Amino acid sequence: RAKNRGKNTFQFYTADMNASAMARLKLEYGLHRALTRDEFQVWYQPKVDLASGRLEGMEALVRWQHPEMGLVSPVDFIPVAEECALIVPLGAWVLSEACRFTRQLQADYDFSGRVAVNLSGRQLKFGNIVDTVQQILQDSGLPASCLELEITESTAMDSDQEVGRALEGLRSMGVTLAIDDFGTGYSSLAYLKSLPVQVLKIDRSFIADLHQDKDDAAIASAVISMGRSLGLSIVAEGVELPAHRDFLRAQGCHMAQGYLYGKPMPAEAFRRYVQTFEAQG
Ligand code: C2E
Ligand code: MG
Ligand code: MG
Ligand code: MG
């Protein structure tokens, strides 16, 4: 009987695997098609200077408008795009879209902010990223000083020589480099300081409860003060409440990004957001 059950379990497992492999294949196929069918969009989320309340810039966040599934979250498709290498052309598309949009904002409004674009490790290793960025800046007319590239803490920890070389190349072009989701990996600030990085983004998991959790508050203020003393610019992500803002400002955090200031929004809506900011002076 045990043998039978084992067999049934095995059959069930196989069927299950086939189903998920099918779903996965469909997603992969859909992703490849999406790039040629123009189904991706870039949305923008404001980033605000905590001391002055001024709009400092925005983060570009990709969205997939699937014909049947509707809006798909990058949390669901970026990992797949990374595995099937589609992240290289997709990432380049996001970059060029974001640079073009930002250049247009500068032309139309009194906007001098920076746009931050997420890069995955694969783009740094195999994407010929330095040439790609240089070409995109040239085509869009956006100054390198107006582009910030975000890499996650785990990508930054990758000791691959190619990653280090790519970061040095980007930095020497005048692009700003940021460590994203800081605190979720196991890197030390001392190690990060050996990289050509200027900005540290504290992961939102430390921000959410800092007004009621002493440990999170302690971690956030330690990161802020150590980061500051290393000359880094500190951004808090996931700032949702006035209590978050007040705490972070008191601790000397430079910038904030989160629902308190605005959710990620389509390009046209962000354009209106900039207009409103400009009108307020
Ligand atoms: P991320 O780079 O850490 O981006 C911040 C995420 O936090 C965004 O999720 C944003 O919508 C969300 N967020 C911002 N403020 C708040 C807040 O106040 N509360 C809450 N609950 N969430 C907030 P999103 O847009 O779903 O993106 C998820 C992740 O997908 C990004 O995390 C990034 O790792 C990845 N991603 C997005 N676009 C790209 C891209 O173009 N390329 C690559 N490689 N990754 C991307
Ligand atoms: Mg990011
Ligand atoms: Mg982040
Ligand atoms: Mg995060």
Q: How far is the CA of 277 from the centre of ligand 3 (A)?
A: 24
CA 116 to chain centre: 7
Q: How far is the CA of 61 from the centre of ligand 1 (A)?
A: 6
Q: Which amino acid is at 52?
A: S
Of 41, 72, 77, 78, best ligand 1 pocket probe by most atoms within 8 Å of the beta carbon: 78
- What CA–CA distances, in Å, run from 262 to 27, 164, 241, 242, 274? 30, 34, 12, 13, 11
Indicate which residue's Cα is closest to atom 21 of ligand 1. 238
Q: How far is the CA of 245 from the centre of ligand 2 (A)?
A: 19
Residue with tokens 């930002």: 102
Which atom of ligand 1 is found nearest the CA of 73?
Answer: 26
Which atom of ligand 1 is found nearest the CA of 259?
Answer: 18
- CA 63 – CA 67 distance, rounded (Å): 13
Which atom of ligand 1 is found nearest the CA of 260?
Answer: 18
Q: How far is the CA of 6 from the centre of ligand 3 (A)?
A: 44
Q: Give residue ranges with CB within 6 A of ligand 1.
A: 45, 61-62, 73-75, 78, 91, 94, 118-120, 150, 180-181, 204, 237-240, 257-259, 264
| pLDDT string in tens for the chain (281-residue length) | 444 454 455 555 566 667 788 878 888 889 999 999 999 999 999 999 999 999 999 999 999 999 888 999 999 999 999 998 899 999 999 999 999 999 999 999 989 999 999 999 999 998 799 999 999 999 999 999 999 999 998 888 887 788 889 999 999 999 999 999 998 887 777 788 788 999 999 999 999 999 999 999 999 999 999 999 999 999 999 999 999 999 999 999 999 999 999 999 999 999 999 998 877 75
Query: E strands within the chain?
Result: 40-49, 55-66, 70-72, 114-118, 147-152, 176-182, 199-202, 233-237, 255-257, 265-266
Q: Which amino acid is at 2?
A: A
- CA 228 – CA 125 distance, rounded (Å): 30
CB atoms within 10 A of CB 195: 18
Strand partners, 35: none
- CA 97 – CA 118 distance, rounded (Å): 13
- DSSP letters, 27-40, are HHHHHHHHHHTT-E
Which atom of ligand 1 is found nearest the CA of 87?
Answer: 44
pTM check: above 0.90: yes
Residue with tokens 């983060």: 59
